[in-house]
Amino acid sequence: MKSKSNKDIVERYRFKYNDGGRKAAGCRGKRSDCVCAAVSIALNIPYPFTYRMLAILGKWAGQHPRTGIALWLTERMTGWKYKAYCGAPLKGRYILRVEIGARRTLHCAAIIDGVIHDTCDFRKEEYRVRGYLYDPKGKSYVR
């Protein structure tokens, strides 16, 4: 049974498999690089560029894109702001932050016009929506 929280809108979103260009960039195996993929998808920029930028910022803070990046580093790279999720529909481009499972593992996924773009549908497990990153300037980043 899923815990009760502000998930009703997220439950209605469609899911689309999208690795953010990770496979096309030649990356193999499973990694904890959901932040890198979500940023690539939401900003519509190449995965290798996103990975390098997060690696540079992460090195400065003692983190790496393969093992997880802190939210404040993602905010610094994108210029986006974090907001707690209140259950409102998300139209546009966002990076959703969720806790998955009993261990409360943090995960990021891109949301574009009400469609979840990710490598796994986190809604199949116990989850809690924590918040999302949004662009305060309203730029679309679509080329």
- pLDDT tens digits along 117-139: 998 888 888 888 899 999 988 76
Residue 76 is predicted with a pLDDT of 87
Range of 39's domain?
8-20+31-134
Residue 6 is predicted with a pLDDT of 56
26 occurs within a structural domain: no
Distance, in Å, from the CA atom of 100 to the CA atom of 106, rounded to the nearest integer, reads 6
Residue 27 is predicted with a pLDDT of 75
Name the pLDDT band for 26 (thresholds 50, 70, 90). Answer: confident
> Do the bridges between strand 81-84 and strand 115-118 make them parallel or antiparallel, or are there none, so unpaired?
unpaired
Does the pLDDT of residue 114 top 80, yes or no?
A: yes
2 occurs within a structural domain: no
Number of domains in the chain: 1
More confident residue, 126 or 2: 126
141 occurs within a structural domain: no
Could you tell me the two tokens for 120? 């796994």
Q: Is 43 helix (H, G, I), strand (E, B) or coil?
A: helix
> Do the bridges between strand 105-112 and strand 127-134 make them parallel or antiparallel, or are there none, so unpaired?
unpaired
120 occurs within a structural domain: yes
User: How much is the pTM?
Assistant: 0.84
36 occurs within a structural domain: yes
Q: What is the pLDDT of residues 56-100, one digit of tens each?
A: 988 888 888 888 888 888 898 889 999 998 888 888 899 999 988
143 occurs within a structural domain: no
